[in-house]
Amino acid sequence: MSKTITLVYDGNCPLCKIGSKWYRLRQGLGDFNLVDARTQQDHPIIQRINTIGFDLDEGMVIEYHETLYHGVDALKLMAKIGSNQDLFNRIHNAFYRLPFTAELFYPLLKAGRNIVLKLKGLNTITGDTDA
């Protein structure tokens, strides 16, 4: 079983970029890799995501123990396996570990991403202008 955990995110979204850069795993879980879904289209995980049919404009993806988690499920997983060593991660983990708050706020996070992309004049990952 792989000891690598991969987060696929939107590198053109400032919110996604900041969150992915600040996020930390609990020690001992494995190596943490970031994949920008826009600039690393040839990455094997992007090919796997496309084959499965996950829409990266509808949510980030985390690969953990060779299973892909998408959208709110990825956010909940991040809260379970995240480090508590800094304020950002402690707040993230406490807030999104609860299924209710993750389900409630994930659509708001997605809407925030879409608003930021529109304000910056950027397309979605798939190139659709209706983010």
More confident residue, 52 or 79: 52
Long-range contacts formed by 87-92: CB under 8 A, 24+ apart: 88/22, 88/23, 89/22, 89/23, 89/24, 92/19, 92/23
Binned at pLDDT 50, 70 and 90, residue 2 comes out as low
The pTM is what?
Answer: 0.85
Binned at pLDDT 50, 70 and 90, residue 1 comes out as low
Residue 73, SS3 per DSSP: helix
Task: Please determine, for residue 47, whether its predicted confidence score (pLDDT) is greater than 90.
Answer: yes
| pLDDT average, residue stretch 104-122 | 91
CB 52 within 8 A of CB 23: no
Q: Which residue has the tokens 């997605």?
A: 110
